[in-house]
Amino acid sequence: MGPGDDSRQAASLRAALIRHLLAEGTLHEERVAAAFQAVPRHLFVPQAPLDVAYADDVVLMKRDETGAVISSVSQPSIMALMLEQAAIRPGDHVLEIGSGGYNAALLRELAGPDGAVTTVDIDPEVTDRARASLDEAGYGDVRVVRADGAYGDPAGAPYDRIVVTVTAWDIASVWLRQLRPDGRIVVPLRLRAQTRSIAFDRVGAHLESRSTTLCGFVSMQGAGAHYERTSPFGETGLTYDEDQEHEPRPPEEVLKLPPRRMPSGVHVGREEPLLDLYLWLASTMPGYCVMTGGEWSWVAAATTADSLVYLTTRGRPGDLQLELVCVGHGAGAGRLADQMLAQVRLWDRRLRHGPGPAFQVHAVGAVLPPGFHVARRDSCLTVTWAE
């Protein structure tokens, strides 16, 4: 197969990928579709065969010494959702935090000839690869900066849009300062063991969410790096956020105590996503955590010093609807399970079919609105729910 054949095959696969994104409902806007059509993704993953380069999947690029993925070219469907969240306008000046090249090229297409794109990454291998790929693909005017993304890029500020393509635990104060007063930042923000891409608009001195979507990215490195803490717990583990360092945790032996199973009376679809429910429980339950491993692949739980409860489902094989059930172990499991079930029923009755959670970000020390507050190093996140 010659170069011309490769080019035709790449164009055909690129068109097929766009049709797939449209059919899946992750791509809606013509301008974003045109950007995907214009940018040759295979040039940014040269080690991958063409069919892999144009699959709707992440392409892993680099691992650290422990085997953890620290660089990747993101899944196109997630990129499409985030690009539509960002609402890049012709002429916008855009900062991307977390590089790789491909998304920067898409941003450059959307910003147009009167716009500008700067992409920042802490890893010199990543920035070198991004620079080479962008040049080969015809995007030599994208600025590639090797720097810690937690500090943004003051040289190009202020920005109309900031797009973060690594999982962040905090909203760095410099990002807000480098954002125009009417600007928007899109960031995959980790909270209570789940990551949501949230589009925030700057409103005065704080940020207000405009849209959210569940996603997954490699974690931020450098000054902004923070990691969830998973405590060994029998054959499984309990995952807490870093701000939950002082949450009480029962001894592992509690799982050997007889379980108490308490049905909720609330039924959910077998494939129904429950992460909004889990975030509600995280907002209302002391000792909230996530159980992973063993027979518990990923379930919402809560702990005290002597008890543990977790949420599961029951039903027969083939049932389309499953009942949510709370299972508890320990001396105080009954009271803790009653509390969890009350919140499950409240969510079902008042919040399940609502617009979902909304988020605000204020500087630490600012006056906060009512809601569930999570303090980080530079910012405080407020979660609220509308019925």
Per-residue pLDDT of the chain (387 residues; tens, 9 = 90+): 444 557 899 999 999 999 999 999 999 999 999 999 999 999 999 888 899 999 998 777 656 666 565 556 788 999 999 999 999 999 999 999 998 899 999 999 999 999 999 999 999 999 999 999 999 999 999 999 999 999 999 999 999 999 999 989 999 999 999 999 999 999 999 999 889 999 999 999 999 999 999 887 777 787 777 766 777 787 788 888 877 878 888 998 998 999 999 999 999 999 898 999 999 999 999 899 999 876 667 899 999 999 999 999 999 988 999 999 999 999 999 999 999 999 999 999 999 999 999 999 999 999 999 999 999 999 999 999 988
Q: For residue 363, give the DSSP letter.
A: E
Dihedral sign computed on CA atoms, order 222, 56, 137, 1 = positive
Let me know: does 61 contact 71? Beta carbons within 8 Å.
yes
Q: Residues 332-349, buried b or exposed e (16+ Cβ, 10 A)? A: bbeebbebbbebbeebbe
Cα 233-68-200 angle, rounded to 5 deg: 90
Q: For residue 167, give the DSSP letter.
A: B
The structure tokens listed for 296 are: 């518990």
Distance CA 91, CA 112 (A): 6
Distance CA 13, CA 191 (A): 36
What's the pTM?
0.91
Q: Which residues are catalytic?
A: 74
Let me know: does 164 contact 83? Beta carbons within 8 Å.
no
Distance CA 88, CA 84 (A): 8
